Amino acid sequence: MRQPSLKWLLVSRLVTLQACMIATALLIITAALWSTGYLLDDYEGASLDVLAEATERDMAGELVLRETPDLVNLRTGVPDLWFAIRDKQGHRLQKGSIPPAYLPAIAMLDQISDARLSNRPELAGKPDAVIKWVDSPVGRIQILTGTKGQMSVQRLARGISGGLTSLILPVIVLMALATLLATPLVVRRALVGLRRTVAQAAHIEFDKRGTQLQASDVPIEISALVRAVNDALLRLDAGYERHQRFLAQAAHELRTPIAILNARISALPAGTDKRDLLEDAARLTTLAGQLLDLQRLDQKRNHFQPVNLTAMAKQVLFDLGPLALGAGYEVNFEPEGDEVLVIGDQTSLERALTNLVQNAIDHGGRQGTITVRVGKSHFIEVSDEGNGIAWDAREQIFEPFNRLGSDGRGAGLGLNLVREIMQLHGGGIAVVNAGSKGACMKMTFPSEKIADGGVRVA
How confident is the model at residue 427, as a pLDDT?
A: 92
CATH of domain 300-457: 3.30.565.10
Contact 331, 270 (CB under 8 A): no
Q: How do strand 440-444 and strand 379-383 relate by DSSP bridges?
A: antiparallel
Contact 429, 422 (CB under 8 A): yes
Identify the burial level of 183 via C-beta atoms within 10 angstroms of its C-beta, where 0-12 means exposed, 13-18 middle and 19 or more buried.
buried
Residue whose C-alpha is closest to residue 448's, from 336, 309, 350, 302: 309
For residues 217 and 30, what is the distance between their CA atoms, to the nearest angstrom? 47
**What type of residue sits at position 39?**
L
In 10 A of CB 188, how many CB atoms? 11
Q: Which residues does 291 contact at the CB level (< 8 Å), separation at least 6?
A: 247, 248, 250, 251, 254, 413
How confident is the model at residue 184, as a pLDDT?
A: 75
How confident is the model at residue 148, as a pLDDT?
A: 81
**What type of residue sits at position 25?**
A
Contact 403, 366 (CB under 8 A): no
Residue whose C-alpha is closest to residue 373's, from 449, 443, 446: 443
pLDDT tens digits, the chain, 458 residues: what are they? 555 666 677 777 777 877 788 778 777 776 776 665 555 566 788 888 889 999 999 998 899 999 998 888 888 888 889 999 999 888 999 998 888 888 888 888 888 888 888 877 665 677 888 999 999 999 999 999 988 876 655 565 555 555 555 666 777 778 778 777 777 777 777 777 777 888 878 877 766 677 888 777 777 777 888 888 888 888 888 887 787 777 777 777 777 788 888 888 888 888 888 878 887 787 777 777 766 766 666 555 557 889 999 999 999 999 998 889 988 899 999 999 999 999 988 888 998 999 899 888 888 888 899 999 999 999 999 999 888 887 777 777 887 766 655 554 555 667 888 888 898 888 999 988 755 578 899 999 987 655 444 545 44
How confident is the model at residue 271, as a pLDDT?
A: 82
Domain with CATH 3.30.565.10 in the chain: 300-457
